[in-house]
Chain A
Amino acid sequence: MGDFIQSTILPAFMKFVNTRGVRAIKDGMMFSMPLIIVGAVYLLLFQLPIESAANFVTSLGIVPYLSHGYTSTFQMTALITAIGVGYTWAKNEGHEPLSAGVISIAVFLILIPDYVAGEYFDAEGAAVTVSGLDKTWLAGQGMIGAMIAGLLVGLIYSWFLAKDIRIKMPEGVPDGVAAAFTGLIPAAAICTCAVVVYGLCMGIGGVTPIELIYKFVQTPLQAVGDSLPGVALFEFLIPLFWFFGVHGATVVGSVASPISQANQLENSAIFTKLTEQGMSRAEAIAALPANGGHIFTEAFQNCFQAITGSGITIGLVIFMTFFAKSAQMKQVGKLGLGCGIFNINEPVLFGTPIVLNPKLIVPFIAVPLISNIGAYILTDIGFIPYTMGVTVPWTTPPILSGLIVCGWQGALWQAVVLVASFFVYMPFAKSLDNDYLATEQGAEA
């Protein structure tokens, strides 16, 4: 069975993970990460969970500015994703990447609805008519469309350059000038194709391409990812990959992250809309489930998925550090304690080892499942609040991350999981410790 997985299933999956498209999505999505974190901090500041603190921020009069900062970072994620995916694809193919990113942003904008007009009132109360982009599509709802735009641009752009179809400058023209023309033919061809697609969709169906993608691709994906079986499957697969020595979070993340990120951005958009309609922070969070909010978000993942590292190994580390008798386990425990607090556990995975060690596979898979299924159900029944956009870097220590993202209820569940980790790992770790001790004593004798 193990051989079959290693020789057949794993290589096939690795082939998928290493395909150009998946790599472009995985690495391309990283570009929006800083903006998401920064935007989430603004969101946290103007939507503080403690009422007196929130009133204080409001009294300072800076809420509109923070909100502006948040909209310009967090709520631009789809735009950034389009650039990132197109850029990464071209880069991986060894072509000039920025042109691909630039074309991707144009294609994404072509796919979304035309500029919308609106009016606002200036300081003197006079109506000013403006036109702008429909924000709806620039973040959550546009995520999958943005990825598709980036992927297609990356593919076609790289094809043009690989075939050397570009405007060639006569000799003596400076490189910089020549490079400026590199993207011209691909840009013309790709953008024109996108315009034709937009024209066909609008002409025949009266609908924009992004709306079709949202309805027929993104919504079904989100529904699967946001279900209990979907979440359980992701959480089961991450440790399973790690068991074979493969970075599970990266591999599973290439499929799960687009969904969880889109979910998170949508939650945040719903939340902002509800607060703009006059709801308080708490009311808006409570109203998220009824307004199409999602449980499985990136913030949810950062809180319950790989706290103290994949497999939630803190219990194992505590056992090894303070209770193990074998030198090997004591040593790994010491190495793993410091980084475990920040959700990093490679020394534990490879040093204990957990990788390819059938003795620890049961708790290694069970603890994350307990954590995530529990968190999902507790959110579903209304104990843990829905996440509303506030998120933390994945290296944020547990309890703290739970507290910031979903209040004391989230922190409490994390605490329960950390304790459970110790008791679930203990019997298995004890048995392994005895094995090591016997070997070590045998070596000495």
Chain B
Amino acid sequence: MLTIRLFCAAGMSTSLLVRKMEEAAAAEGTEVDIIAFPVGEMDQHLDGVDVALLGPQVGYMKAQMQKTAAAKGVPCDVIPMADYGMVNGKNVLAFAKKLANK
């Protein structure tokens, strides 16, 4: 089971990506638990999480958010713009897996 949390400004635009990632995971038989949240609430949503991904539009907060995530031992990085924009669930899932080392 791979637990992924996505964070963007309001948690809305990223929810589209969540669905595509779930589809991609189902297609390749990976069990996932993916939810999107506003980046301001990140600290409340890190327990038991394998990897935290930031939408590129909040990428400017990367350093700070990586610190928050590191405090809970969660790897955190910014989703590549092109994958985010094309809502490429497969690529983002692969990106998450690589980060989580699973």
Contact = CB atoms under 8 A, between A and B. Distances in A.
A135 to B, nearest CB: 30
B86 A332 contact: yes
Given A346-B8, A351-B84, 20 more contacts: A14-B60, A18-B64, A246-B57, A247-B9, A249-B9, A332-B86, A335-B87, A339-B16, A344-B13, A346-B14, A346-B57, A346-B84, A347-B13, A349-B57, A349-B85, A350-B81, A351-B87, A353-B81, A355-B81, A395-B12
Contact of B85 (A14, A26, A332, A344): A332
SS class of chain A's interface: helix, strand, loop or mixed?
helix
21 contacts: A18-B60, A245-B59, A247-B8, A247-B9, A335-B16, A335-B86, A339-B13, A346-B8, A346-B13, A346-B16, A346-B84, A347-B13, A348-B85, A350-B57, A350-B84, A350-B86, A351-B82, A352-B85, A353-B85, A355-B85, A356-B81
B14 to A, nearest CB: 8
- Of the listed residues B16, B58, B85, B86, the one surrounded by the most CB atoms of chain A closer than 10 A to its CB is B85
Interface string B3-31: 00000110011101000000000000000
A349 B84 CA distance: 10
Given A30-B40, A335-B86, A350-B82, A245 B16 contact: no
Interface of B: 8-9, 12-14, 16, 40, 43, 55-61, 64, 81-82, 84-87
A250 interface: yes
- Of the listed residues B8, B55, B58, B61, the one surrounded by the most CB atoms of chain A closer than 10 A to its CB is B61
Contacts of B85: 332, 346-353, 355
Interface residues of A, number: 32
A356 B59 CA distance: 14
A10 B12 CA distance: 25
- Of the listed residues A26, A250, A344, A350, the one surrounded by the most CB atoms of chain B closer than 10 A to its CB is A350
Contacts, number: 74
Contact of B55 (A17, A345, A346, A353): A346
A360 to B, nearest CB: 13
7 tightest A-B CB contacts, nearest first: A350-B85, A351-B85, A346-B13, A247-B57, A27-B40, A14-B60, A350-B81
A291 interface: no
Contacts of B16: 335, 339, 346-347
A109 to B, nearest CB: 26
- Of the listed residues B43, B59, B84, the one surrounded by the most CB atoms of chain A closer than 10 A to its CB is B84
Contacts of A344: 12-13
B15 to A, nearest CB: 9
A331 interface: yes
Contacts of B13: 339, 344-347
A347 B86 contact: yes
A244 to B, nearest CB: 9
- Of the listed residues B8, B14, B59, B87, the one surrounded by the most CB atoms of chain A closer than 10 A to its CB is B87
Nearest to B14: A346
Contacts of A14: 60
A341 B55 CA distance: 21
A290 to B, nearest CB: 37
Given A245-B56, A339-B16, A346-B55, A331 B86 contact: yes
B12 A353 contact: no
A347 B87 CA distance: 7
Contacts of B8: 247, 346
A8 to B, nearest CB: 14
A91 B58 CA distance: 20
